[in-house]
Amino acid sequence: MKCKTIITELADYLDEALDPSLRTQIEEHLGKCQDCRVVVDTCKQTIEIFCNSEPAPLPPSTRLRLHEALAKRLRRVRA
Amino acid sequence: MSSSRIGPVVRRPLPSQVVKDDEPVLVAAAKAGDISAFETLVGRYERKIFRLTQNITQNREDAEDAMQEAFLKAFEHLQNFEGNSRFYTWLVRIAVNQALMKLRKRRPNVVSLDEEIDTGEDLVPRDVEDWGPSPADRYAQTELSGILNKVISDLDAPFRVVFQLRDIEELSTEETAEALGLSVPAVKSRLLRARLKLRQALSQYFRRGENK
């Protein structure tokens, strides 16, 4: 298996969407190729850093404007 | 090398992602016209929806407008929500549409989300450097947020939007394709490129031995 194949299949590998035989081939390659192993591992960490990061609270002025707009429009919709 | 298995992406159950038991009750009450029930749902998801619209539009004013319109449209069309998916997934799709409209209006010549993209680049990364253990822990939360905002804003919109929906909002590939009017292979291709580009961008902060 070539390094390029690892990259092509990287997304499905991390999403556990590969058939077992291809997964085994990839893991055999990862056991031998340090560069591919680093790329796959740091790519996984990239996703985890983003998806495990809580969104910041709304700035107070943004939150105020949102709830004022909602109150105004929702009352109108209900009426 | 101890093991060649890297394992799947680990998603921690964040407080903002936990679906509370009362959600179907709140949705039903809001459907019946209970504004306070709907406001509770808004309070639950406003942070995530604002991050979503901010990441897509890359403009504070547009992000605010898109968020407001998304919540208003959700309330107005609540009768169409049949409960086949999570309420939040349904809300995300509305917010994505609003944010994309803002983005296309502001940058009509730049944003073409529905075209095939052949960047012609070699996807195999060069100058590969390991990050070392727990790289994100080297930064304070606000500093880390700044880094994540910076690297995602540097991504081109077609990649940024797909990454946002698939990896941050956790829509499936099929849901992302449907929301963006793309084919499944196009979503997969963009997601791969987005992940690789973000990995490369984060490497300058997280590589082993990097001093802040």
Can you state the percent helix, strand and coil of chain B, rounding each to 5? Answer: 65, 0, 35
Question: Residue B31: inside a domain, yes or no?
Answer: yes
Using CB atoms within 10 A of its CB, is residue B148 exposed (0-12), middle (13-18) or buried (19+)? buried
Question: Residue B115: inside a domain, yes or no?
Answer: no
Question: Residue B122: inside a domain, yes or no?
Answer: no
- B140: amino acid identity, one letter: A
Question: Residue B51: inside a domain, yes or no?
Answer: yes
Whether B33 contacts A78, CB under 8 Å? yes
Reported as a single tens digit per residue, the pLDDT across B117-129 is 555 566 777 778 8
Number of domains in chain B: 2
B98 and B21 in a single domain? The answer is yes
| pLDDT of residue B2 exceeding 50 | no
Count CB-CB contacts under 10 A for residue A18: 16
Domain containing B89 equals 16-106
Yes or no, beta carbons of A42 and B145 under 8 Å apart: no
- pLDDT given for residue B109 in this prediction: 61
- Phi/psi for B19 (5° steps) reads -80, 120
Question: How many angstroms separate the Cα of B181 from the Cα of each of B116, B142, B174?
Answer: 12, 35, 10
Reported as a single tens digit per residue, the pLDDT across B153-207 is 999 988 999 999 999 998 999 999 998 989 999 999 999 999 999 999 999 999 8
B140 and B100 in a single domain? The answer is no
Predicted complex: ipTM over 0.95: no
User: Which single residue is written with the structure tokens 């707009």?
Assistant: A69
| pLDDT of residue A56 exceeding 90 | no
- DSSP string of B98-119? HHHHHHHHH-TTT--TTS----
Q: Which of B6, B68, B152 lies nearest to residue A44, judging by beta carbons?
A: B6
Tokens of residue A67, six digits:
């709830």
Tell which residue, B130, B12, B200, B195, has the closest CA to residue A41. B130
B23 and B88 in a single domain? The answer is yes
Contacts of B152 in chain A (CB under 8 A): 50
Yes or no, beta carbons of A56 and B124 under 8 Å apart: no
CATH of the domain at B38: 1.10.1740.10
Residue A33's pLDDT band (boundaries 50, 70, 90)?
Answer: very high
Reported as a single tens digit per residue, the pLDDT across B49-77 is 999 999 999 999 999 999 999 999 999 99
B36 and B78 in a single domain? The answer is yes
Question: Residue B130: inside a domain, yes or no?
Answer: no
- A62: amino acid identity, one letter: T
CATH of the domain at B192: 1.10.10.10
Question: Residue B212: inside a domain, yes or no?
Answer: no
B199 and B144 in a single domain? The answer is yes
B28 and B81 in a single domain? The answer is yes
Contacts of B46 in chain A (CB under 8 A): 58, 63, 66
B25 and B102 in a single domain? The answer is yes
Instruction: Please tell me the pTM assigned to this model.
Output: 0.87
Tokens of residue B98, six digits:
């609003």
Reported as a single tens digit per residue, the pLDDT across B16-26 is 666 677 888 99
- pLDDT given for residue B107 in this prediction: 73
